[in-house]
């Protein structure tokens, strides 16, 4: 194990040569991998990033070398330093190490001085995505460096960032929410990192009010997961781990809203906000329909043929569940009006997108999920996309 750690640190130290050797650092990585086979995948993934950065210089696409240099930190130094910790502590130490050493990597490899806000933003993305992949992936030596680099690269384009002081406040806000969810046993370590990434990006590209809508979904979902929990356990349909959410659940419900918030920040069209309303309303309506509808005293009926089925069967719906979906969707729309994000037509977009999206979720559950084509998380993702399309369509009709 000591030899493995030494080799991992040696791989990380090769980042010091990047400003001078550039893509030729690949040869030193190859030499280390020959001496220690346990870092061969890591050396190969970092070599691939160096090769991509070098090759793309001759195209219109640019993968900055400083992003690759930052990517050396998470799977090496951050992994070694955080190895003594477990769970959320490990993730936080992992993230902090990546941010500090990533900043030094930028100073050494960036061709010109970058704004401190951008450096902080990119190294935070590397730390959060690296910590998340370290928890979630079984192929860490490939997914962590490659994944963190791709996430940074995705958001390396030029856009206006808040001041450094405001960004720090956003970070404190995002981590505070994640820690609260963890201590309340509403989310595990992977979900905390996922929520922090989503909070950071939604607030930066959409605004705080956008994330408050998404936060309302998280809170309603967590609260109603425990509603009637004893009865759900009797029926053997209760959420596992006491309702604690994992990263898959977070991303399946939040990936579409996140993408729409980023699109709004880049393009500024109001259609993205209405689509965002539809997607969040779908996630909220579906969660309430499931968690409240499962406590109904009447048996659910299959959405495709209206025959009675047992509680918990994919595609089963109840009157209580349908009313809950309508209520959850309406709540998102009302919150949008109260916060001044939309007029009363926002309620229409939320109700339409949420209610139709929830029933589309049930339809997918009765067909694709029962046949094993989609998992529950896959169904949630597609349903959120459908709800977003409905919300966007409402905006087009009204405008």
Q: Could you tell me the two tokens for 83?
A: 């190895």
Q: Provide the mean pLDDT of the chain.
A: 88
pLDDT digits (tens, 9 = 90+) for 11-22: 999 998 998 888
Q: What does the alpha-carbon distance between residue 172 and residue 229 come to, in Å, rounded to a whole number?
A: 32
CA distances from 158 to 103, 117, 240, 360 (A): 19, 12, 42, 37
Stretch 160-180: mean pLDDT? 87
CB environment 71-110: b (16+ within 10 A), e (fewer): bbbbbbbbbbbbeeeeebebbbbbbebbbebbbebbeebb
Higher pLDDT pick, 132 / 279: 279
Sequence ranges of the domains in the chain: 2-154, 209-398
- Give the number of other CB atoms < 10 A from CB of residue 62: 12
Burial of 128 (C-beta count, 10 Å sphere; 0-12/13-18/19+): buried
What pLDDT, on a 0 to 100 scale, did the predictor assign at position 32? 93
Report residue 229's pLDDT band, with 50, 70 and 90 as the boundaries. low
Q: What does the alpha-carbon distance between residue 170 and residue 320 come to, in Å, rounded to a whole number?
A: 38
Look at residues 141, 122, 168 and name the one whose alpha carbon lies nearest to residue 45: 141
pTM: 0.84
Helical packing angle, 271-293 and 376-398, nearest 10°: 140
- Give the number of other CB atoms < 10 A from CB of residue 177: 19
Stretch 74-83: mean pLDDT? 90
Stretch 334-356: mean pLDDT? 93
Report residue 222's pLDDT band, with 50, 70 and 90 as the boundaries. confident
Stretch 279-304: mean pLDDT? 88
């Amino acid at each position: 194990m000591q030899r493995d750690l030494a080799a991992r640190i040696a791989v990380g130290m090769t980042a010091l040569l990047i400003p001078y050797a550039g893509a030729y650092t690949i040869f030193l990585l190859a030499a280390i991998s020959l001496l220690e086979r346990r870092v061969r995948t890591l050396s190969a993934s970092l070599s691939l990033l160096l090769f991509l950065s070098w090759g793309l210089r001759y195209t219109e696409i640019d993968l900055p070398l400083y992003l690759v240099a930052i990517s050396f930190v998470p799977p090496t130094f951050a992994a070694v330093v955080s190895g003594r910790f477990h769970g959320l502590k490990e993730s936080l130490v992992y993230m902090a190490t990546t941010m500090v050493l990533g900043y030094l990597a930028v100073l050494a490899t960036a061709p010109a001085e970058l704004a401190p806000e951008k450096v902080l933003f990119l190294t935070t993305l590397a730390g959060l995505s690296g910590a998340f992949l370290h928890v979630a992936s079984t192929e860490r030596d490939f997914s962590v460096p490659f994944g963190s680099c791709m996430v940074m690269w995705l958001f390396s384009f030029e856009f206006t960032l808040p001041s450094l002081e405001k960004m720090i406040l956003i970070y404190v806000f995002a981590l505070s929410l994640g820690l609260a969810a963890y201590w309340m046993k509403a989310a595990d370590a992977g979900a905390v990192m996922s929520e922090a990434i989503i909070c950071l990006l939604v607030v930066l590209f959409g605004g705080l009010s956008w994330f408050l809508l998404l936060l309302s979904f998280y809170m309603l979902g967590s609260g109603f997961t425990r509603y009637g929990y004893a009865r759900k356990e009797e029926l053997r349909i209760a959420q596992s781990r006491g309702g604690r959410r994992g990263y898959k659940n977070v991303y399946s419900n939040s990936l579409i809203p996140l993408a729409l918030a980023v699109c709004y920040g880049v393009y500024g069209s109001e259609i993205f906000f209405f689509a965002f309303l539809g997607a969040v309303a779908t996630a909220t309506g579906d969660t309430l329909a499931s968690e409240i509808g499962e406590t109904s005293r009447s048996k659910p009926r299959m959405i495709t043929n209206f025959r009675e089925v047992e509680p918990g069967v994919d595609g089963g719906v109840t009157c209580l569940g349908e009313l809950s979906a309508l209520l959850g969707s309406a709540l998102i729309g009302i919150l949008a009006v109260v916060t001044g994000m939309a007029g009363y037509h926002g309620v229409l977009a939320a109700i339409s997108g949420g209610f139709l999206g929830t029933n589309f979720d049930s339809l997918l559950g009765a067909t694709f999920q029962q046949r094993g084509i989609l998992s529950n998380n896959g169904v949630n993702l597609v349903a959120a996309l459908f709800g977003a399309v409905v919300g966007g369509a409402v905006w087009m009709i009204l405008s």
